[in-house]
Structure 1
Amino acid sequence: MRIGIDLGGTKTEVIALSDQGESLFRHRVATPRDDYPQTLAAIVGLVEQAEAATGQRGSVGVGIPGTLSSLTRRVKNANSTWLNGQPLDADLQRLLGREVRIANDANCLAVSEAVDGAAAGQQTVFAVIIGTGCGAGVALNGQAHAGGNGNGGEWGHNPLPWMDEDELRYRAEVPCYCGHAGCIETFISGTGFATDYQRLSGIALSGAEIMQRQQQQDPLAELALSRYEIRLAKSLAHVVNILDPDMIVLGGGMSNVERLYQTVPALVKNWVFGGEFTTPIRQAVHGDSSGVRGAAWLWPL
């Protein structure tokens, strides 16, 4: 049995999977924000609940909104800032009495979809989270690729490529929380989509509300969406020119915009070196379950 934990900013979820990928137990609790000891206690409690409910002992994998430094073995780059600087794997291994594997949550998405999701059986998978923020992960042969610095897949904090004049103005107006300007995240996250619509219209709306207006033929909503599609295509073309994955999988709230799967592949060709692009772009099969499932699959068969 494999146990996966998805440690999020607002909720922490556990899943227990059989060797065949069947869900045996699933539960979530509120994340104890800004409290590291209680966060540890919540994870341990969820593992204990899963094992009590199934009567089995499992391997444990944990997805986090950050990564483990290969130098210090402490968490870095987590937007759940109370985790940063903490020896999370060592503490969990001590409390649970077994080895624990930890990976970035976007890498867990990539693993989940590579094992038994939209990209099942593909060798190189690039998985994108386009929600409140923007992240990505890489799975190679069904396993997470973190890299020597733990930054594998940190796509959202690279600059948007091939900026036009308006994007250069946007870059100056909307700095990224990471301290840099022009990050892909500020353009193609759900937050970036809403910010661009507000720049065009002067009206602050959620992504879902903007899409409702687009379906009602609102020209500014249509313009915001078409600009979003171009920016997503440029950002993915950059990845294709470097990694050339076998499949690209989209997760997060913006992945539910069905039109992206028709428009973006054709647009990507405009920026791919040589002008050829046949890589499938698919929506994550497991939706918001991909992260916790991928954490469980950090222990391969």
Structure 2
Amino acid sequence: MQTYWGVDLGGTKIEGVVLSAPSPDAVIIRKRIDTEAHYGYEHIVNQIGKLIQLLKAETGLQPEKIGFCTPGTLDPATGTMKNSNMTCINGKPFRDDLARALGVPVTTTNDANCFALSEATMGIVQDVVPDFRAVFGVILGTGVGGGVVFRGYDGIPIVQAGRQGIGGEWGHNILEENGYPCYCGKRGCNEQVISGPALQRFYLEQSGESRNLKEILKRYYQGTDPYATATVERLLEYFGRAVSTIVNMLDPDAIVLGGGVGNIDLLYTEGVERAKKYVFNDGRLNTLFLKPKLGDSAGVFGAALMG
């Protein structure tokens, strides 16, 4: 029996799945263990090995290959990890070390690409536009990221990771000139304008009070807090500008909005309306903006598909 093995590496948890088919309804087993990243790189590799042994023991199955969903991405030029907020894996030959430790071929793909691939092939896109040619998956939460999936000539969806492994990384395009400094070295990146922490920071600076995004949204809907209104208006306007660049460059059939900020219903209405001003199409925008279907399963399912 052919099986699909995937692992989603997170800062606190590592999740593994074994599928009997590329479908969310074909789960043989799912299992999570603690990452314990504070113990360092070698410990993370050992924890992953422990998880794979548990999956093998409980199923009696052996993987032929394993896909990994990772924070950060593998640099094709060096074979090492980069851009990960789990900093201990940056600069490490993570894929090769995993393959050596597990004794099977390994693929690694960043979390945004896994999200885009799983929603395009197993999730909401299949329900709405199954004959898609291109899909962009947005991660809009604590950080801002994205992934691109194209349909290949053979009909099989493929992730466009790119020559440098940064395909879809729209979070670090400059959105606000001379805006907040970003760890990437630029100022005013998407991530420093429309991420959850960036919006909360803006509200604090305007009002002098610290509130989470849920509270800010509640006050916006109540219409009694001008600082909440300014914060949400900032989100909608800059979301429209940021997402218009995706449409102008890729013109995808669908954009799937993931992440905590991506749950805000206003983005699908007012946010899309703002984008119309900036899309190079005479004020029309036919791109489908979709809510994800797979939730926190997207990462591990996408990893299994990449395996």
Give me the TM-score of the superposition, normalised by structure 1.
Answer: 0.92
Aligned to 1:134: 144
Map 1:41-52 onto structure 2 (within 5 A).
Answer: 41-52=46-57
Unaligned runs of 5+ in 1: none
Displacement of 1:55: 2.2
Matched residue of 1:281: which SS? strand
Aligned to 2:249: 242
| 1: CA distance, partners of 2:297 / 2:229 | 30
| 2: CA distance, partners of 1:47 / 1:139 | 28
Letter in 2 for 1:42: Q
Q: 1:24 aligns with which of 18, 21, 28?
A: 28
Displacement of 1:283: 1.3
Per-residue CA deviations over 1:193-217 (Å, capped at 9, x if unaligned) read: 2112112211111112212222333
Per-residue CA deviations over 1:2-53 (Å, capped at 9, x if unaligned) read: 1211112222211222214222222222222240111001111112222222
Q: Is the 8 A contact 2:182 2:189 kept in 1?
A: yes
Displacement of 1:155: 0.7
Per-residue CA deviations over 1:46-105 (Å, capped at 9, x if unaligned) read: 122222222222331101111111111111111111001111111111111111110111
| 2: CA distance, partners of 1:60 / 1:27 | 15
Q: Which runs of 4+ in 1 moved over 3 A?
A: none
Map 1:42-81 onto structure 2 (within 5 A).
Answer: 42-58=47-63, 59-81=65-87
Aligned to 2:14: 12
Q: Is the 8 A contact 1:13 1:28 kept in 2?
A: yes
- Count of equivalent residues: 290
Which region of structure 1 is more displaced relative to structure 2, 145-154 or 9-18?
Answer: 9-18
Aligned to 1:297: 305
Displacement of 1:187: 0.7
Letter in 2 for 1:28: R
Q: Is the 8 A contact 2:22 2:305 kept in 1?
A: no
Unaligned runs of 5+ in 2: 152-156
Letter in 1 for 2:85: N
| 2: CA distance, partners of 1:208 / 1:291 | 24
Aligned to 1:97: 103
Give me the TM-score of the superposition, normalised by structure 2.
Answer: 0.90
Q: Is the 8 A contact 1:133 1:189 kept in 2?
A: yes
Q: 1:125 aligns with which of 126, 135, 153?
A: 135
Q: Is the 8 A contact 1:14 1:292 kept in 2?
A: yes
| 1: CA distance, partners of 2:213 / 2:304 | 31
Q: Are 2:267 and 1:265 equivalent residues in the alignment?
A: no
Matched residue of 2:172: which SS? coil
| 1: CA distance, partners of 2:284 / 2:124 | 22
Per-residue CA deviations over 1:233-266 (Å, capped at 9, x if unaligned) read: 1101011111111110011111221222121222
Q: Is the 8 A contact 1:252 1:288 kept in 2?
A: no
Q: Are 2:230 and 1:223 equivalent residues in the alignment?
A: yes
Q: Is the 8 A contact 1:118 1:283 kept in 2?
A: yes
Aligned to 1:155: 170
Aligned to 2:154: none
Letter in 2 for 1:129: I
Aligned to 1:252: 259
Displacement of 1:289: 1.5
Which region of structure 1 is more displaced relative to structure 2, 262-271 or 215-224?
Answer: 215-224
Which region of structure 1 is more displaced relative to structure 2, 72-81 or 24-33?
Answer: 24-33
Letter in 1 for 2:291: Q
Q: Are 2:290 and 1:276 equivalent residues in the alignment?
A: no
